[in-house]
Amino acid sequence: MPLTAEQSQEVETLREERQPTRREVAPALEELLYQPIPLLDHGFIRVIDYMGTDSAIVQAARVSYGRGTRKVNEDAGLINYLMRHRHTTPFEMCEIKFHIKLPIFIARQWIRHRTANVNEYSGRYSIMDKEFYIPAAEQLAAQSQSNRQGRGDVLKGREAARVLEILRKDAAQAYAHYGEMLNEDMDGNILQKGKTGLARELARMNLSLNFYTQWYWKIDLHNLLHFLSLRADAHAQYEIRIYAEAMLDILKRWLPVTHAAFMDYRMGGVSLSAKGLAVIKRLIAGEKVTQEQSGMSKGEWRELMESLQPAGSG
Range of the domain at 54: 5-127+210-267
When pLDDT is cut at 50, 70 and 90, the band that residue 300 belongs to is: very high
Is the predicted pLDDT of residue 313 greater than 70, yes or no?
no
Residues 115 and 143 placed together within one structural domain of the fold: no
| 3-state percent breakdown (helix, strand, coil) of the chain, nearest 5 | 50, 15, 40
Residues with Cβ within 8 Å of residue 281, at least 6 apart in sequence: none
pTM of the prediction? Answer: 0.90
Mean pLDDT of the chain: 91
Residues with Cβ within 8 Å of residue 63, at least 6 apart in sequence: none
Is 314 contained in some domain? no
Is the predicted pLDDT of residue 69 greater than 70, yes or no?
no
Are the C-beta atoms of residues 57 and 94 closer than 8 Å to each other? yes
Residues 112 and 241 placed together within one structural domain of the fold: yes
Residues 109 and 239 placed together within one structural domain of the fold: yes
CATH of the domain at 88: 3.30.1360.170
Residues 95 and 182 placed together within one structural domain of the fold: no
Residues 13 and 113 placed together within one structural domain of the fold: yes
Q: How far apart are CA 40 and CA 63, in angstroms?
A: 42
Residues 59 and 113 placed together within one structural domain of the fold: yes
Domain end marker among 163, 180, 206:
206
Give the count of alpha carbons within 13 A of 186, CB side only: 6
Residues annotated as catalytic are 231
When pLDDT is cut at 50, 70 and 90, the band that residue 68 belongs to is: low
Among 58-72, 149-163, 226-240, which is the least confidently predicted range? Answer: 58-72
The phi, psi pair for 144, rounded to 5°, reads -65, 140
Q: Tell me what pLDDT residue 144 has.
A: 77
Domain end marker among 206, 223, 253:
206
pLDDT (tens digit, 9 = 90+) per residue, 8-46?
A: 888 888 888 888 888 899 999 999 999 999 999 999 999
Residues 234 and 284 placed together within one structural domain of the fold: no
**End-to-end CA, the chain:** 38
Domains in the chain, number? 3
Domain end marker among 159, 181, 206:
206
Residues 83 and 215 placed together within one structural domain of the fold: yes
Return the axis-axis angle of helices 298-307 and 274-284, rounded to nearest 10°. 50
Is 312 contained in some domain? no
